[in-house]
Amino acid sequence: MKARFVVVLALCACAAALPVANNTAAAPSSATRSAPPPAKTAPASELVAALVQKHGEASRARAERGVKQVLALWRPQDGDLRAFIESSFIADPALLLQRFSKAFEQIDGHLLEIGRALRSWNELELGPQLPVDQLFASVDVGAHLSDDLFDSKLAFVALLNFPLSELDEMAAEGPAWTRKQWAEARLTRRFAHRPSGAALQAVAKASADSEAYIAGYNLWMHHLLDKGERIFPKGVRLLTHWNLRDEIKADYADKDRALGLRRQRLIRAAMERIVTQTIPRGVIDDPRVDWDPVSNTVARSPDAEVELAQMKAQGKRPVEAVVSAEREPDARYAQLLADFQAARKADADSPFAPTEIARHFNFDDELPKARVRALLTQVLASPLAPRVGALVQKRLGRPLEPHDVWYNGFLESRTQQPEEELSRKTRARYPSAEAYQKDIPRLLRALSFSSEKARFLDEHIVVDPARGSGHAMEAARRSEMIPGWGPGDSPHLRTRINPDGMDYKGYNIAVHEMGHNVEQVFSLYEVDDTLLQGVPGTAFSEALAFTFQNRNLELLGMPRPDARALRLKTLNDFWETWEIAGVGLVDIDTWEWMYAHPDATPVQLREAVLSIARGYWDKYYAPVLGAPGSPQLAIYSHMINSFLYLYRYPIGHLIAFQLEEKFNADPARFGDEFERVTRFGRETPDLWMQHATGRPVVAEPLLEATAAAAKAEEATR
């Protein structure tokens, strides 16, 4: 109750300082209207002239820009524009900026916390799930915040008094900006579009639905048959795509290499069934049905009754086992279409970025789409791919196959130990989320953070047991607005912990998410203005998390890599970036196709995605891995539950490599360097990278290092 009162105080403080024109009637919520036309009002020149007359000629440039920005989003229902502009323009808005900074820390922070709490029953292992949990998860209590900020005129106050900078302007002029100018840019760019509450609620619902769909998409591996034979141990339940992909990686370390290859081929066949939607509906997350992915035949498991009893003992409400070859009815692509249709609801109210694609590249990531395409294509088309592929083939001693796109054998310290041995260690250390929580200070000290800094970080990270794959939940509030009223919020680390403890897959994810959390703590609590909190985009957050994940084996007590191990890791970095670059392009092309075909059916979308995925496979991957026409690039679950996300991973790999070059220069300073770069706040990507590494975001460091590493390895074989 107190926190909510603080938000109201903050908004009232801004409103009281800025009298606005009274409307004759309350403006209807934009949730009830659809893309109204801009208001017919006095010409901009008259509005600017009135401001110049009142505030002097020195205010002209600010007035011209502010009036233009307000006009782009003002609607007839918003009332008397001239009265608003004349009463709300401030000659020196420095104090106003402070008001917005304090207010939005509270608004963003508390709304984030409420949403996290409402999704907890859906996302965390908190006992049996109820049907109502999905309804709570789909509620966005801040869905009408944008409406409220525009209807109250607070958004227009910001647009009138501070510049809304275009991306090219930020790139050209940003290096010379003060931190105050950067804070102004971050304030106004959040008002570059005016989505209705209905649009935001639609996105929240689609996000919750797609998250639930993916979180429940498990395969019981003991029930996947290879010509009638069970080749996976009993009880293994893997989430697509993350766990399936990680199982393929783990099988490279299998002592029985023939068995490992059989398992990889079976998983690949299952993945292709999922992508093509020829997977039988009844085999999804049901251990009572046996399935041969190659022949696509199903049968009731001999252990069905035992499995049924176990499910009931776990509090689950199993439905009747479906022993049928009836395929999943394009649910994967229906969900993707639902995401798209939800995102489209915001298009009409976004004049500066009228598509979800434009909002992602121009506002969320601030890297032009053409630039991202060029970077990904530069990696995909590199002549290094067949060279590194040849090294992989020699190491495997057999021709490459499509699943070898996930080869991780360059990480020899990883493949020298089978996954079960690593899992034995992690299960012993981390039988629960609480055990991982208690170990965070030691883990951070092992990463060269000081004892004091490790304690500080531990105090601001909360570990939760996830139902699905792991993820990190940021915080946005470092204190209450009024001193003494309470502490700030903490980021949450979610990872999957099985009944017998955290296996290596869960641990690997946990270390990655801990990297996210450490970045989130520093970029909130140590940035100079909360309007600048965070990093330039998700790719940077992923890159910083990768630098933690790259050290996960060291944290298990294995030695730090020597010069050759670092060289092999470079080859692994290239191979991973090459793999995910194609996936990123598939995701981009899919969204472009949906915009070009907004009335498509799930069947049409399925065929389009398969065509896109096969096209990139045949162009870049088949020459190295064979199997023309493979659709497996479309297996990534992020395509379904993350709204145009996947290109951020390869960009993140490029960024991570540049950062690792900096961090590896002095391993003893990893913690200090990590903290240094995460305190810059949200500048543009290239400027942030210039500060961090001395170069913008480029592919050359990875490609140059890969060429040197490949040459050295070729000379030794």
C-alpha span between 552 and 52 (Å, rounded):
60
Place of tokens 């989003």: 73
Q: Which residues contact 555 (CB under 8 A, 6 or more apart)?
A: 443, 446, 447, 511
Nearest to 550 by CA among 514, 503, 586, 598: 514
Across the range 627-637, mean pLDDT stands at 98
CA 81 to chain centre: 39
Question: Rounded to whole angstroms, what are the CA distances from 416 to 397, 400, 577?
Answer: 17, 20, 23
Q: Is the pLDDT of residue 88 over 60?
A: yes
C-alpha span between 123 and 107 (Å, rounded):
23
Nearest to 591 by CA among 577, 579, 609: 609
Q: How confident is the model at residue 31 (pLDDT cuts 50, 70, 90)?
A: very low
Write down the H helix ranges in 56-143: 60-73, 81-88, 94-118, 120-123, 131-137
What pLDDT, on a 0 to 100 scale, did the predictor assign at position 318? 67
Rounding to the nearest 10 degrees, give the CA dihedral for residues 305, 311, 317, 321.
-40
What pLDDT, on a 0 to 100 scale, did the predictor assign at position 599? 97
Q: Is the pLDDT of residue 415 over 70?
A: no
Q: Is the pLDDT of residue 559 over 90?
A: no
Across the range 359-375, mean pLDDT stands at 94
Q: Is the pLDDT of residue 39 over 90?
A: no
Q: Are the beta carbons of 478 and 525 closer than 8 angstroms?
A: yes
Question: Half-sphere exposure of residue 32, counting CA atoms within 13 Å on the CB side?
Answer: 5
C-alpha span between 43 and 38 (Å, rounded):
12
* Each residue's pLDDT tens digit, 509-553: 999 999 999 999 999 999 999 999 999 988 899 889 989 998 999
Across the range 585-592, mean pLDDT stands at 98
Q: Which one-letter DSSP state was computed for residue 365?
A: S
Ranges of beta strands (E only) in 259-326 are 289-292, 297-300
* C-alpha R_g of the chain: 27
Question: Half-sphere exposure of residue 321, counting CA atoms within 13 Å on the CB side?
Answer: 21
Across the range 645-659, mean pLDDT stands at 93
Q: Are the beta carbons of 423 and 503 closer than 8 angstroms?
A: yes
C-alpha span between 659 and 657 (Å, rounded):
5
What pLDDT, on a 0 to 100 scale, did the predictor assign at position 379? 98
pTM: 0.80
Question: Half-sphere exposure of residue 168, counting CA atoms within 13 Å on the CB side?
Answer: 2
Write down the H helix ranges in 38-77: 44-55, 60-73
* Mean of the per-residue pLDDT values of the chain: 90
Q: Is the pLDDT of residue 7 over 50?
A: no
C-alpha span between 41 and 469 (Å, rounded):
52
What pLDDT, on a 0 to 100 scale, did the predictor assign at position 91? 87
Write down the H helix ranges in 381-503: 384-396, 412-415, 419-429, 433-446, 451-459
Q: Is the pLDDT of residue 314 over 90?
A: no
What pLDDT, on a 0 to 100 scale, did the predictor assign at position 316? 65
Nearest to 363 by CA among 191, 513, 542: 191
Q: Which one-letter DSSP state was computed for residue 364?
A: I
CA 161 to chain centre: 32
C-alpha span between 132 and 554 (Å, rounded):
43
CA 620 to chain centre: 25
**Bond before 241 cis per omega within 30 degrees:** yes
Question: Domain residue spans in the chain?
Answer: 2-19+36-192+199-212, 216-328, 333-407+562-716, 413-556
Place of tokens 């797609």: 210
Question: Rounded to whole angstroms, what are the CA distances from 243 to 179, 239, 468, 697?
Answer: 42, 5, 10, 30
Q: Which residues contact 48 (CB under 8 A, 6 or more apart)?
A: 60, 63, 64, 67
What pLDDT, on a 0 to 100 scale, did the predictor assign at position 1? 32
